[in-house]
Amino acid sequence: MDDALEVEDLVMHFGPVRAVDGITLRIREGSVVALVGESGSGKSTVGRCVVRLLEPTGGTVRLGGADITHLNRRRLRPHRRNVSIVFQDPAGSLDPRLSVGDIVGEPLRLQQLRKGVQAKVAEALRRVGLRPEVAQRAPHELSGGQRQRVSIARALISEPRLLVADEPTSALDVSVQAAVLNLLADLQRDLGFACLFITHDLSAVEYLADEVAVMYLGQLVEQGPRGRIFGHPAHPYTQALLSAAPVPDPVEQRTRRPVLLGDDLPSAIDPPPGCRFHTRCPVAVDTCRTVVPEPRTIGEGGHQVACHLVNDDGTGPDVRTTQGA
Ligand code: SF4
Ligand code: MG
């Protein structure tokens, strides 16, 4: 069977800004891949290319085997039902002039489906934990959490094979984040769609994702099965990210020291030569400043890393222990 999503050497430049600079990644049918990295690393741009809100500058995007990279609006239409996106900010992504029912049913109308729309809307609302009466309300009458549930209902009403969820909880009150995350996890399990889960919340990643892809300044530095990435992170940047994430165990939390990366993310207009991470990497050597590290497979399950200092068996420096003191 074709993968739900295949992205090959994806490039998205905005004038001089190299937002995405050669990303290769695939998502198997029904599995969840988390795309993590700091804000400004290009994660959202990847998501927007995948749902073709943006036309990539280079590379290919295949949905269920179909190349959609450069399709025009008309030829894209039959593929629209196969992929949906949920944005970070539900307030900004829901048209305030429409009722909730019209918003949720819109994807069906765009596919020229008219029969049974109302019943499907009611069912979609029920799935996300909202009562059918909500269909008559306006988005501004709902809470942030309810609005995000509406976005999710709209995204899933056409039963897509792939859902792109771009920081779906980070604009919500902390008190409702867990509920919305649980909802997404339940829906994914019940409906079986594949998911590109864009986030910087590593505890959510551990909970939801089958695989993890770590992005730095427009490129992937490491990807692989969740257990490998959390258990044996090989890239210094992944190690630093994980060192800063909260851990559930308070004793472990007290003994952990986050690796400080110092400077901000460099500009995507003029990324550092060699390894893009070398300006902040605690273990960089001379080679890192001039030679680009190519991604290499270092373990089972397609664990890949792009770093000169990681050995073929995945061993190498761990910035969580080499730094400090
Ligand atoms: Fe650090 Fe060098 Fe590895 Fe880049 S290639 S992550 S600079 S050690
Ligand atoms: Mg973003």
Q: Say if 150 falls within a structural domain.
A: yes
Q: Say if 61 falls within a structural domain.
A: yes
* More confidently predicted of 152 and 247: 152
- Domain ranges, residue 24: 5-209
Q: pLDDT for 225-244, tens place per residue?
A: 999 999 999 999 999 999 88
Instruction: Give the least confident one: 108-112, 252-256, 278-282.
Output: 252-256
Instruction: Give the least confident one: 98-102, 121-125, 260-264.
Output: 260-264
Q: Say if 88 falls within a structural domain.
A: yes
Query: Which ligand is closest to the CA of 278, given by its number?
Result: 1
Q: Say if 153 falls within a structural domain.
A: yes
Q: Which residues line ligand 1 (CB under 6 A)?
A: 235-236, 275, 277-278, 281, 283-284, 288, 293, 307-309
Helix axes 144-156, 117-127, angle to 10 degrees: 130
Q: What is the CATH number of the domain that holds 141?
A: 3.40.50.300
Question: Which among 291, 312, 163, 292 is positioned nearest to 219, based on CA atoms?
Answer: 292
Distance 40 CA to ligand 2 centre (A): 7
Atom of ligand 1 nearest to the CA of 310: 3
Helix, strand and coil percent figures for the chain, each rounded to 5: 35, 20, 40
Atom of ligand 1 nearest to the CA of 237: 6
Q: Say if 214 falls within a structural domain.
A: no
Q: Say if 322 falls within a structural domain.
A: no
Query: Which ligand is closest to the CA of 317, given by its number?
Result: 1
pTM: 0.94
Position 111 scores a pLDDT of 82
Distance 286 CA to ligand 1 centre (A): 10
For residue 306, how far is the Cα from the chain centroid? 20
Structural domains counted in the chain = 1
Q: Is the pLDDT of residue 265 over 80?
A: yes
Ion ligand 2 — residues with CB < 5 Å: 44
Instruction: Give the least confident one: 102-106, 146-150, 169-173, 179-183.
Output: 169-173
Q: Say if 323 falls within a structural domain.
A: no
Atom of ligand 1 nearest to the CA of 317: 8
Position 4 scores a pLDDT of 97
Which of left, alpha, beta for 262 (phi over 0: left; psi -120 to 50: alpha)? left
Structure tokens at 235: 């890239």
Q: Say if 290 falls within a structural domain.
A: no
Write down the ipTM of this complex.
Answer: 0.96
Distance 287 CA to ligand 2 centre (A): 31
Alpha carbon distance 180, 75 (integer Å): 34
Question: Which among 155, 158, 161, 214 is positioned nearest to 180, based on CA atoms?
Answer: 155
Distance 285 CA to ligand 1 centre (A): 7
